[in-house]
Amino acid sequence: MRTDTSADELQALMRGVVRRDRAAFATLYDRTAPQLFGIALRILRQREEAEDVLQEAFVAVWDRAASFDPERGSVMTWLVTVLRYRAIDRRRRRAHLEDRLGSEEDLRALTAAATDEADRGAGLAALQKCLGELEERPRSAVLLAYAYGYTHEELAQQLATPIGTVKSWVRRSLERLKRCLDG
């Protein structure tokens, strides 16, 4: 996702990984690990766990490279997916809810970043615009769930709203985002 690494370059590296080219694998890691580590840190908010998840994700990338389908999406999205579900799972396994919830400040920073007018690439600009059309609290629910891995229960607690309401916020927001982005 760094602007200096093009999608084409990542595709070429990924083809190398499928051929078991270790140099390509090392370069793929160098290009993408900082962004992926940042994503894992945001979900887990604990360095050691984020390191574990990054490690697991790249071992899985090596093992399952052949299952990457360029028709389905970009290399970076695939890498994020491999990492994100692991990070979310790890977060959910923590025993104490208070270890998992982020702060109000985190939310404000995220909302600012995600609806910032500054152009950070076509994809983000479009999503920013569509997120901006949502009401504030449903938007927070979507961002907290996606960026921090909050569950419905945690969203309900953080936003002081009944869980049923939170669920329907997210569903309605997804429908609206889809219409806005695809329309």
Question: What residues line the site for another protein (CB under 8 A)?
Answer: 1-2, 20, 22, 25-26, 29, 33-35, 37-39, 41-42, 50-51, 54-56, 58-60, 62-64, 66-67, 72-74, 76-77, 80-81, 84-85, 88-89, 92-93, 110, 113-114, 120-121, 123-124, 126-128, 142-143, 145-147, 149, 151-152, 170-171, 174-175, 177-178, 181
CB of 38 to another protein, least distance (A): 4
Cβ at position 136, least distance to another protein in Å: 16
| Minimum CB distance to another protein, residue 93 (Å) | 5
Longest Cα–Cα distance of the chain, Å, equals: 51
d(CA 21, CA 34): 21
What is the nearest approach in angstroms of another protein to the Cβ of residue 80? 5
Nearest distance from C-beta of residue 126 to another protein, angstroms: 8
